[in-house]
Structure 1
Amino acid sequence: MKFRSILLTAGVLSSATFYAQKMTYPKAIKGNHTDTYFGTAVADPFRDLENDSEATRRWVDEEVKHSQEYLAKIPFRDEIRNQLREIWNYEKISAPFKEGDYTYYYKNDGLQAQSVLYRTSNRTGQTEVFLDPNKFSEKGTTSLSQLSFNKKGNLVAYSISEGGSDWNKIIILDAVTKKQIDETLTDVKFSGISWQGDEGFYYSSYDKPKEGTVLSGMTDKHKVYFHKLGTKQSADQLIFGGDKTPRRYLGAGVSEDQRYLIISAANATNGNELYIKDLKNGSDFIQINKGFDINASIVDTDGDNLYIFTDKDAPNMRLVKTTIKNPAPETWTDVIPQTGNVLGITTGGGYFFATYMVDAIDLVKQYDKNGKLVREITLPGKGNVSGFGGKEKEKELYFSFSNYITPGTTYKFNADTGKSEVYQKPKVKFNPDDYVSEQVFYTSKDGTKIPMMINYKKGTKLNGKNPTILYSYGGFNISLQPAFSVVNAIWMENGGIYAVPNIRGGGEYGKKWHDAGTKQQKKNVFNDFIAAGEYLQAKGYTSKEYMALSGRSNGGLLVGATMTMRPDLARVAFPGVGVLDMLRYNKFTAGAGWAYDYGTAEDSKEMFEYLKSYSPVHNVKAGTCYPSTMIITSDHDDRVVPAHSFKFGAELQEKQACNHPVLLRIEKNAGHGAGRSTEQVIGENADLLSFALYEMGIRKL
C-alpha cells in the first residue's frame, strides 16, 4: 500500500487565515470555591466539574458536540481514518500457551473490536473458539482483562472490563466443556487471579465506593480474598489486607509448584513488602522484608529455595537467592548480580532470562538456576524484546521483537539448544527499508545527557518544515522502548517525524533515573522534554509551527505542564487522560498511591508550593496564546478521573488569548486506555493525526 505524502502549503499560514475570530465554547459551571493550603487560599472555580451531576453531563455532551463539529471540518480526516483502517486490517496472532490438553492463542482477523481466544486440542488437532470477547457487548467495548487456568488446565477464571472500567467481574468455567460452573464475582479491582489446586483462587479488591462515586471515589484499603468454588462471593475468606493490615495495593500469587502463597503489599507505586506462606505445612505468613524502601518480587521457587528480584543495594536490579527457613534480606545472595545496565528477569524452561536495557535497547542473556551464563541470545536487530516466559518443564518458549520501524514478530525458541525461528510474522503493509530510526543524545537544562529515538521516512529533508510528534512519559519507573505502531506508520508515511526522548522519571537507567524525576525534582522531567523539542528545532527536523506535544496519563501531565511552562514551544498539544490537577489528584480512586512520584499538597508547605508551581490546572494564565489543543479523556476513566481533563479544558477555553482551538475529545464507554475496541482506537488516532496536520497549516494530503 502506498500513501500520498503531505503537500505543504507555501509557508506557514497564520492562525488568522484559519479562523475569523476566537472560538465560542460551551459554558462550564463556575463557582467561587477555594481551598486553603498552609495559609494560602487557592481558587478552584470549576470544582463542580468533579461531580457527576446533570449539569456536568450536559456540559460534557455540549463539549463532545462542539469538538466533533470542529473535527468534521478537517478535509482529510476521513482519508486518514481510511488509511488507518487499511493498515490495521491484518491478521494478528499471539504466541501460543499450553494449558491441560489444549494449546491456546489469541487472534484478531484484522478489524475485530477485540481479539478472540482460540484453542487447539493436543490430541485431535481440532481448533475452536474458546472465548470471543466481541460477543460480551454489542459494540465490543467489554474486554477480556485477566485469564487464569488451574494447574491441571481443566478450570479457568477470567475477568472482564465493561466500558474500560478498572472495576471488573470474574467468570469461572469448566475449561473442558466451556460451561460456567459458579456465580460471577463482581466489584473486583486491580486484581490477579491465582488458583490453589481445584479448590478455588485468590483475587484482590476494595470496598465499592458509595453510589454515585464508583468512578471517582477513593479506593484505599486493598483486600486479598480466597474464593472457594461452589460458595457465594459473600462467603469469600479474607486472607490479607483490610483493617488488620491496611495496604493500598495487594497482589497474591501461588507458586508454580503450588507450595507457596506469596503476597506483595504496597502503599505507593514504588516500594513493597513481601509475605510468604507455606501452604504445604499450613504455617502462618512470614514477612520477608519490612517497610517500603525497596522493590522485591519472588520470581521463582525450587523446593525450599526462593529467588527474589530486587533493587535492594542494587538500583539497576539484581536476582538473589534465599530459603523459606530464613528469607530475611540479610540472607540474600546474588544469583545474577547488578551491572551498569538495568536488568529484567523472566523464567521459563528451567532457566532465567536476563534482559538488560542499554540506552533503552534490549540485550538478552540466558542463565541456569545457579547463575551460570548459558548463552547470550542472538536477536534480530536493535529493539525491544518481550517473552521467554513459560512453565518449568516447557522447553519451547516464545519471544517477540520490534522497534519503531519493525512490526512485532514472534519467534519460537528452544531453551536447551538456544535455536530460534520465526513463528509469526505479521503481514503489515509497511516496508521498514523505507524508514530511518536513529538514536541521538541531547543535553537537558542541567547538563544531563538524554537519549532520543527519531523516526522518519528516508529522504526527509531537515528543513524545519516536517510535521513532528514529540511523545514521552517520564514517570513511575516506566521505560519507553522501541515498539512498532501502525498509527506512527501512517504518520511517517504522510511525511511526519515521530520522536521519543527517554526522559528522567522513567526506568531506562534504573532507580536513580526514576528518582531524578520525582517529587521536588519533577521539573527535571518537563525540562528534559522541552530540551528535546528545542533540539529537534535547532537541528532542522522541525520548527515550532510543525511540532505537536503528545503524552498519556502521567504523560498527559507532561504535556499539560510543558505547554503551560512553554506555550511557545509547539503549535499543537495532546494531553491524553492526564493527571492535571496536582493539588487534588490524591483525592480520587487510587491516586493517593502516586505520592512516591509526585508528593502531595498536604505533605509540607514546600511540597504544596512546588506542586502548585507546575500543576497545569493552576497555571493557565489569561492573556497567553496556548497551542492548538485537543484534550483526550474518557467518561469511564476511573484511574485518572476525567475531572482532571474537564477542569484543565475549562481553564484553557476561558483564558486562551488567541484563536488556536481548545477541544475536549471525550470517548464514551471507554476507560483509561486498556480494552478499547479497535474502532475506538482508530477513531481517536484519526482525530489526533488529522487535527495535528490541520493546525500545522496542512490543507490536503
Structure 2
Amino acid sequence: MNFRTTLLTAGVLFSATFYSQKMNYPKALKGNQIDTYFDTAVADPFRDLENDSQATKKWVDEEVNYTQNYLSKIPFRDKIKNQLKDIWNYEKITAPFKEGDYTYYYKNDGLQAQSVLYRTHNKAKTTEVFLDPNKFSEKGTTSLSQLSFNKKGNLAAYSISEGGSDWNKIIIIDAMTKKQIDATLIDVKFSGIAWKGDEGFYYSSYDKPKEGTVLSGMTDKHKVYFHKLGTKQSEDVLIFGGDQTPRRYLGASVSEDQRYLIISAANATNGNELYIKDLKNNSKDFVQIVKGFDVNADIVDTQGDDLFIFTDLKAPNMRLVKTNINNPSPENWKDVIPETENVLGVSSGGGYFFATYMIDAIDQVKQYDKTGKLIREIALPGKGNISGFGGKETEKELYFSFTNYITPGTIYKINADTGKSEVYQRPKVKFNTDDYISEQVFYTSKDGTKIPMMINYKKGTKLDGKNPTILYSYGGFNISLQPSFSVVNAIWMENGGIYAVPNIRGGGEYGKNWHDAGTKLQKKNVFEDFIAAGEYLQNKGYTSKEYMALSGRSNGGLLVGATMTMRPDLAKVAFPGVGVLDMLRYNKFTAGAGWSYDYGTAEDSKEMFNYLKSYSPVHNVKVNTCYPSTMIITSDHDDRVVPAHSFKFGAELQEKQSCENPVLLRIEKNAGHGAGRSTEQVISENADLISFALYEMGIKI
C-alpha cells in the first residue's frame, strides 16, 4: 500500500468513525467470523447478532431506546399520531359468511386492538359476540389467525398467534355453546384447518426447533396430521410429509362436498405437486395429479367425479381446466376458462366461476358457468382492485369488495343468478375521494422495459420537485401490488405527500414471465425498475432527491436495502421494513430455504454466489458513503424474516455512515412479521414513519 492509498484509507475510516461517534450509536459486539464460498473469503463481523445472546439483547434494548429518544425530538410526531388515530377511528365491517344456522362477520368499532367476530342467528335475528381476540391477551398482541367450521357449522377450530409468531395454537370449540371441547393443539405452523365431518380435522406443522432457536431455527420438513376429536395431540396420525415424503410446505384441504382430501406439496414458494384422496371410497392411497415442482396447480372446486384445477401449466397467465378423478393427469385436462393475454384469478360461489382479469394491475371480472360459458361481465364501480365472489355452492348472495388508492374499500352484495349488485357496507372514513388524484403512468426501465406506476396525491399539488414522496414497491414472489386504500397514505397525502407505487418485475402483474424476469440471476431487474421509477418522479417534477423516501417490507425490505446501497444518492429517506438483507445466509433461518426460487442460494454455484454478494445489502455497505436517513423496521418475534437481517444491516450502516443522516433501528416488541399486530402498534409505527420522513426532509407541519 503506497502513501497516497494509506492517507485515503485513513480519511475514509476517520469519516465513518467520526459520524458514528458523533451520533453515539450503541456498539454491537463485533467478531472475526469469516465464511468461505467457492474459495472466496467473506467477513461477517456482526454474526453474533444472529444469536439470542445477552450481548444481542443488551444491544437491542439500547437501539430501542436510541431510536425512541431520536423520534421524541420530532415536534409534530404526536400531531401525526393523533391525525392517524382520528382517521382510523371508524367502524370496519367485513363481508358476512354463513355457517350452519348463523351468519358471521368481523367488526372493529374503530380503535380496538383486534377485530371482533360476531354472529347473527338466521331465523331469530339475534346478534352476539362469537370470538373476541381482544380478550386473548392483555395488550391485544395475541391475534386470531385461522377459523374453520365443520360442514354442519356446529363445531369450530381456530388458531391464535402470540406476539406475531408464525407458531400457532389451535383451540377447538362447540360452536353452539362457544365452549372449548378438546385440548389445545400446540406448535402448529403454516397451517390451515380442514374438517372431515364431525370426526376431526387436518392441519400442518413442523418439528419444533431446539430450545433457544424457536424464532430462528430452520423449519424444513412439513407434516400433515389428522387430529381426531377427544384424542391427545401426541396420538395424531401423520397423513403426509415427514421423512417419507419430505416437503418444505404442505397444505391440506377437504372439498366442499367432503369427498376429497387434497394435498398441495412444495419445496419453494413457486411450483407444487398435487395429490388427492377419495374419502368416499375409503381410498388408502393418494393419487398424484401433478408431479415435480415446475408448475403451479390448485383444485378450486369439485363436482362429482370432476375436478376443476387452476394452473399455469402451458399457461403463464393462468387458466382453469377440468379433469376426472378416474384419470386426472395433465394430458387429460380440458380448458374451462382458457388463458388470455391478461393474468387470470378464479373464485367459485353460487354454482358459478368468477374470473378476475388483471389489466395493467386493474381488475375486470367475468362470470362463467361450470361448463365455461360466459354468463356476463360484472359491472364494477370504477377502476381498481376487486376481491371476493367466493361462497358455498348453494349460496346465491355473494359479496365482493372494491377499492383503489383514493377509494376506501366498499363491500357489495351481488345476486349470482341475476348479476345485480348493491352496496352492502360503505365505510364512513373522514376522507373525500374527490379531493385526490390517482393516475397511472408508464415509464422505461434501464433495459427498455415498460413499467406501470400509480401516482396518488391531492388536487392542486404543484409539480415543482418539492413534494414529499413515498416510493413503495415489492417486486417478488409473484405478488401483485394492486390499488388499495390506506388511511396511512391518506394522512400522508393530506399533509402534502405523494404516494407512488410502480408494478416492477418479480411481481405477478403480467404473469409468470414477469415474475421470472425478477428472480435469481435477473433479480437486479427489480432494483433497476425501482430506481427508474424514482428517476421518473424526479425528472417529471413530482419530487426530488431531497424529498423522496424509499419504502418496502419483507422482500420489499430487500428492495429498499439493495436500492439504497446501489444508489445512495437516489433518495433522502429509506425504510427497509422486516427485510431479507443478508442474501448469503437467508436460507439458514426458519423457512428461508423455500425462497430459493426467487433468490437462488450462495451454495448453488459460484456465479449465483457472486451475483447475490454483488447486491446483498449487508455486504454492500461501504465507508466514505453518505446513505439516506434510514429507519430500519423489524420485530423481536419475527420468525419469518428473522430480525438478524435488520440487526446486521443496521450495525453496518451505523458503523460506516459518512454523513449526518441518522440510521435508526425501530424494533417492535411482542410483534412478528406484520400480521396480527394490534391497532396501537400499527398506528405508532406509521406515525413514526411519516414523522421521520417529513422531519428528515426538513418539512414542518
TM exceeds 0.5?
Answer: yes
The equivalent residue for 2:663 is: 662
Deviation at 1:22, TM superposition (A): 3.6
SS in 1 for 2:161: strand
The equivalent residue for 1:437 is: 438
Deviation at 1:123, TM superposition (A): 1.9
The equivalent residue for 1:195 is: 195
CA distance in 2, matches of 1:100, 1:144: 21
SS in 1 for 2:23: coil
Superposed, which structure 2 residues align to 1:279-678 within 5 Å?
279-283=279-283, 284-678=285-679
CA distance in 1, matches of 2:93, 2:295: 37
CA distance in 2, matches of 1:33, 1:641: 20
Which amino acid is 1:173 matched to? Answer: I
CA distance in 2, matches of 1:448, 1:326: 43
CA distance in 2, matches of 1:101, 1:290: 41
The equivalent residue for 1:11 is: none
* 8 Å Cα contact 2:20-2:654 kept in structure 1: no
The equivalent residue for 1:35 is: 35
SS in 2 for 1:326: coil
CA distance in 1, matches of 2:282, 2:572: 63
Which amino acid is 1:163 matched to? Answer: G
The equivalent residue for 2:139 is: 139
The equivalent residue for 1:217 is: 217
Deviation at 1:101, TM superposition (A): 0.6
Which amino acid is 2:157 matched to? Answer: A
Deviation at 1:450, TM superposition (A): 0.1
Which amino acid is 2:144 matched to? Answer: L
The equivalent residue for 2:46 is: 46
CA distance in 1, matches of 2:179, 2:596: 44
Which amino acid is 2:396 matched to? Answer: K
Deviation at 1:21, TM superposition (A): 8.6
Query: Deviations for 1:54-75, whole angstroms, at most 9, x for unmatched residues?
Result: 1100000000000000000000
Report runs of 4+ in structure 1 exceeding 6 Å deviation. none
> What is the RMSD of the two structures over their aligned residues, measured on CA atoms?
0.8
The equivalent residue for 1:270 is: 270
The equivalent residue for 1:692 is: 693
Query: Deviations for 1:202-232, whole angstroms, at most 9, x for unmatched residues?
Result: 0000000000000000000000000000000
The equivalent residue for 1:8 is: none
Deviation at 1:143, TM superposition (A): 0.2
The equivalent residue for 2:233 is: 233
Superposed, which structure 2 residues align to 1:177-192 within 5 Å?
177-192=177-192
Which amino acid is 1:314 matched to? Answer: A
SS in 1 for 2:288: strand
CA distance in 2, matches of 1:61, 1:107: 36
* 8 Å Cα contact 2:20-2:655 kept in structure 1: no
Which amino acid is 1:273 matched to? Answer: E
SS in 1 for 2:474: coil
The answer for unaligned runs of 5 or more in structure 1 is 1-18
The equivalent residue for 2:16 is: none
SS in 1 for 2:239: strand
* 8 Å Cα contact 1:22-1:658 kept in structure 2: no
CA distance in 2, matches of 1:34, 1:413: 61
SS in 2 for 1:203: strand
Query: Deviations for 1:479-537, whole angstroms, at most 9, x for unmatched residues?
Result: 00000000000000000000000000000000000000000000000000000000000
* 8 Å Cα contact 1:555-1:576 kept in structure 2: yes
CA distance in 2, matches of 1:125, 1:439: 45
CA distance in 2, matches of 1:65, 1:30: 21
Deviation at 1:20, TM superposition (A): 13
SS in 2 for 1:463: coil
CA distance in 2, matches of 1:244, 1:666: 40
Query: Deviations for 1:381-416, whole angstroms, at most 9, x for unmatched residues?
Result: 000000000000000000000000000000000000
Deviation at 1:122, TM superposition (A): 1.0
Superposed, which structure 2 residues align to 1:108-187 within 5 Å?
108-187=108-187
Query: Deviations for 1:168-207, whole angstroms, at most 9, x for unmatched residues?
Result: 0000000000000000000000000000000000000000
For the structure 1 residues 20 and 202, does the alpha-carbon distance in structure 2 shift closer, same or farther, using more than 3 Å as the test?
A: closer
SS in 2 for 1:652: helix
Which amino acid is 1:384 matched to? Answer: N
1:55 aligns with 2:52: no
Which amino acid is 2:156 matched to? Answer: V
State the identity %. Answer: 88
CA distance in 1, matches of 2:370, 2:300: 12
Which amino acid is 1:556 matched to? Answer: G
* 8 Å Cα contact 1:505-1:513 kept in structure 2: yes
* 8 Å Cα contact 1:395-1:416 kept in structure 2: yes
Query: Deviations for 1:56-108, whole angstroms, at most 9, x for unmatched residues?
Result: 00000000000000000000000000000000000000001110011100000
CA distance in 2, matches of 1:350, 1:368: 7
CA distance in 1, matches of 2:90, 2:24: 42
The equivalent residue for 2:15 is: none
* 8 Å Cα contact 1:439-1:453 kept in structure 2: yes
CA distance in 2, matches of 1:93, 1:223: 35
Relative to the length of structure 2, the TM-score reads: 0.97
Which amino acid is 2:64 matched to? Answer: V
Which amino acid is 1:696 matched to? Answer: M
Deviation at 1:569, TM superposition (A): 0.1
* 8 Å Cα contact 1:21-1:659 kept in structure 2: no
Which amino acid is 1:77 matched to? Answer: R
* 8 Å Cα contact 2:153-2:175 kept in structure 1: yes
Deviation at 1:601, TM superposition (A): 0.1
* 8 Å Cα contact 2:220-2:591 kept in structure 1: yes
How many residue pairs get aligned? The number is 682
Which amino acid is 1:366 matched to? Answer: Q
The answer for unaligned runs of 5 or more in structure 2 is 1-18
Q: Which moved more, 1:282-291 or 1:152-161?
A: 282-291
CA distance in 2, matches of 1:361, 1:21: 49
CA distance in 1, matches of 2:280, 2:686: 52
The equivalent residue for 2:10 is: none
* 8 Å Cα contact 2:405-2:438 kept in structure 1: yes
CA distance in 2, matches of 1:354, 1:683: 38
